[in-house]
Amino acid sequence: MFNCPNCGKQNPPGAAFCSQCGYNLQMYQVPPKKSGLPVPAIVAICVAVVVLLLGGLYVLGSNNDPEYKTADKIELTDIEGTWDLVGESKSGQMTDQIKISEDEITTDSGAKIVPRYSSVTDGDTLVISDSKNIFSANMIEMRLEKRKVNNRERVVLAVYVDDDTGWGYYIRK
């Protein structure tokens, strides 16, 4: 209801004139307020939110690197997961993939090392083997390194193969 400013009579909303004194009520009625934002603004905000979400997911999903640690601080739980060989270090002697769990290290060929012994060399390399006897042990030498991979700074798992091949570099999947 709307009160007439001239006589005070209550009039129904939208009435043009007062029903008692005939006063023009149109001058005193507040125009209806538009609700909300216009459609283009809502669309622009939605697009911006989607772009930010996709960008955030890309950044989070594209880098599954472990925290960099020196060889004497590495635990197998720090480097658990599936590691893929970086393209520039491919060699006939390198396995394309390594799977590491706290119980075993497995290559894509099926070779397994069940860690029973580990030590750190002078060259800051972690040696994991299934025996203390170096002549009968299956072992793997590795360390974490910071390297550029596809023009991005990454923490990679460096695995030593032999004197001829050197190191192979893996990124966590």
Model confidence over 63-118: pLDDT tens digits? 667 777 787 787 788 888 898 888 766 666 678 888 988 888 888 878 788 887 77
Q: How many CA atoms lie within 13 A of 25 on its CB side?
A: 22
pLDDT of 30: 60
Instruction: Name the token pair of 162.
Output: 């032999």
Long-range contacts of 56-61 (CB under 8 A, 24+ apart): none
pTM listed for this prediction = 0.57
Q: How many CA atoms lie within 13 A of 64 on its CB side?
A: 11
Q: How many CA atoms lie within 13 A of 50 on its CB side?
A: 6
Q: How far apart are CA 89 and CA 168, in angstroms?
A: 5
Return the higher-pLDDT residue of 39 and 64: 39
Domains of the chain: 2-61 (no CATH), 71-172 (2.40.128)
Confidence of residue 51 (pLDDT cuts 50, 70, 90): very high
Q: Name every residue whose Cβ is closer than 8 Å to that of residue 45 and which is 6 or more positions away in sequence.
A: 37
pLDDT of 133: 67
Q: How far apart are CA 91 and CA 12, in angstroms?
A: 88
Tell me the one-letter amino acid at 98. Answer: I
Average pLDDT over residues 9-14: 86
Q: How far apart are CA 145 and CA 47, in angstroms?
A: 39
Confidence of residue 136 (pLDDT cuts 50, 70, 90): low
